[in-house]
Chains A and B, each alone.
Chain A
Amino acid sequence: MTMIMTNSSRTSSSFTLPPPAPLLSGAGWGAFLLALIVVCAVAPALNLLVPVDSVLHLSDYAVALIGKIMCYAIVALAMDLIWGYTGILSLGHGLFFALGGYVMGMYLMRQIGRDGNYKSDLPDFMVFLDWKALPWHWALSDSFVATLLLIVLVPGLVALVFGFFAFRSRIKGVYFSIITQAMTFAAMLLFFRNETGFGGNNGFTDFKRILGLPIATPSMRMTLFVLTGLTLLGFFLMARWLIRSKFGRVLQAIRDAESRVMFSGYNPLPYKLTIWTLSAVMCGVAGALYVPQVGIINPSEMSTAASIEMAVWAAVGGRATLIGPVIGAFIVNGAKSWLTVTAPEFWLYFLGALFIAVTLYLPHGVVGLVKKIREGGAK
């Protein structure tokens, strides 16, 4: 005993442990501030103030597209927390996205008021179905405050209950992925049915107002755009803070060697449940921001392909990097909006090829590639 211990206590005083990592590096804060300025000042100015015929004008189409992609980027960030860092591949994040979207959609449907085609207090599709009153689950949909709460609570509670039973039963790996996929598919079938009161396969659309203000004006579009950008940046900082805490390291430890985590005295269940539920809530918020900007929500958001695409964004950008999946969401969806216009029939082939290529040649995604090139250049 004596030899080793005295030896170590003599040297330990002169020995320094590595300091904790900063929330963002200097360059990271620079990029963060730049993004903040672009979202809050540059984009609004280029869209609203610069005349339409100027080269610098940011078109309404571009604002809508970037706003939509920022919603997807929030989803990709959520995906990175649960998949990249915790090693749990969810193919059910489309459900949480849709749940947030539907909660917002119900509020927007109520905001239409009597301006619908049938001039009724009820949403058009209910009049069409010859319903006389709102179903019970629409009870709170006229309150904006309740809507904001439900955007967080509905996906959060669904994730919490589902996650509790799945993680308690120690369902892992591909089995977990399949179950989340099945759950999402079941929900899609449920939402497709007219009698469940979610507008069937048409979903909700033809929104007119939000908080009593017209929804299709340039300033409202820009407001939603800025709000989405701020949400994305806020979630990014929160994710950074979580990942560089010991909590984040326990998540990575669960991913790499879960049994070692347990034998180190940690119960993985509350850890998995926390990050899983948080990830679902982030998706719900993204969905709620998405619906007023895109103007429609329908069950196709819960399709198998939609959830798989979310995983592709994270993989393309680079898992377990936080910034990677955000970049991945922009790359893949940018390519999608371009390809679906120029060659719509090739989009799915492109997506499949992209996933295979990334898996084979870029296991660490675009961020990994950039890192590799930089390190190569440094040598």
Chain B
Amino acid sequence: MAALESGKNNTESGGRTAGFGRVMVPGEVDVSHGRILYLEDVSVSFDGFKAINKLSLDIAPGELRCIIGPNGAGKTTMMDIITGKTRPDEGKVFFGSTIDLLRYREAEIAQLGIGRKFQKPTVFEHLTVFENLELALKTHKGVRASMFFKLDSAQKDRLAEVLHTIHLADAVSRLSGNLSHGQKQWLEIGMLLMQDPKLLLLDEPVAGMTDEETARTAELFLTLKGKHSLMVVEHDMSFIRTISDIVTVLCDGSVLAQGTLDQVQADERVIEVYLGR
């Protein structure tokens, strides 16, 4: 790490004021090492099958990283591990350079600032669009806080803003169970935005969307890039071409190749796993 930063600055401490160490601010993710997410040698197996095998991967703050790979490559399992749903057998998973994600449960990880969209759009079908977004809003999430919760005007503005961003302003009072598949995808993305996460994990966000919806989603993700870090798993190559800087190819639970889309598509090993021998 020091070597990485020494290009910019030649002090021993990598450009920071020497000698005092760094103050850890609770609730702040320490990205001074240039990494918001860091996985090292992570492995997990289910009934002897190695779903993730010595996986190492890191993501920079503000980066939009695309993940591709054949079925069973471990993409969803990797997201399960990052969000606390699955415990890895070994390896390290850090959020920033100070938060060890393996020590937290799902809800705590969400509160730390990692949002997740599922492969199958998952919204609260018996609640309205408005209520779905209100639930996701970043606020105190304890029992008593929820009983006496009232939206303040800043939160109302935020809600209205997200409603417009996801093009559901006209559907605000509709039950989310009655939305189209693409609209549900958008609503779920909207719920992520309400959480205001630092890192968004998006599992096949444009599956089932029309071309127009897909184009809008690409536009949205590009606006989020920089402010948030994104990890997008997709199979839609034209969508990836629109949004990607760096693409990581997963296969058999570890990284097979990494680079721009053109680079990985030209990679012999990638062609092999996608087309078979």
Contact = CB atoms under 8 A, between A and B. Distances in A.
A246 interface: yes
B30 interface: no
A252 B124 contact: yes
Interface in A322-339: none
Interface stretch (B66-74, B88-96, B131-139): B131-139
Give the size category of A's interface with B.
35 or more
A15 B141 contact: no
Interface stretch (A125-133, A192-200, A214-222, A257-265): A257-265
Interface string A293-316: 000000000000000000000000
B143 A271 contact: yes
B261 interface: no
Nearest to B111: A265
Given A8-B161, A259-B122, A242 B141 contact: no
B160 A8 contact: yes
Give the size category of B's interface with A.
35 or more
A18 to B, nearest CB: 5
B161 A5 contact: yes
Most buried by B among A5, A250, A268, A274: A250
B142 interface: yes
Interface string B6-34: 00000000000000000000000000000
Interface of A is mostly: helix
Given A256-B125, A263-B115, A264-B136, A250 B146 contact: yes
Contacts of B111: 265
Contact of B223 (A1, A261, A270): A1
16 contacts: A1-B227, A4-B223, A12-B157, A12-B164, A17-B172, A18-B172, A247-B143, A247-B149, A252-B124, A252-B127, A259-B122, A262-B107, A263-B83, A263-B115, A265-B141, A267-B108
Which 10 A-B residue pairings sit nearest by Cβ, starting from the closest? A8-B164, A1-B223, A12-B160, A265-B110, A262-B106, A267-B107, A246-B149, A247-B146, A247-B147, A246-B146
Given A4-B219, A245-B146, 17 more contacts: A2-B223, A3-B223, A5-B161, A8-B163, A8-B165, A17-B151, A17-B172, A247-B143, A247-B149, A256-B126, A257-B122, A264-B136, A264-B141, A265-B107, A267-B107, A270-B143, A274-B143
Interface of A: 1-5, 7-9, 11-12, 15, 17-18, 20, 242, 245-247, 249-250, 252-253, 255-257, 259-268, 270-271, 274, 320
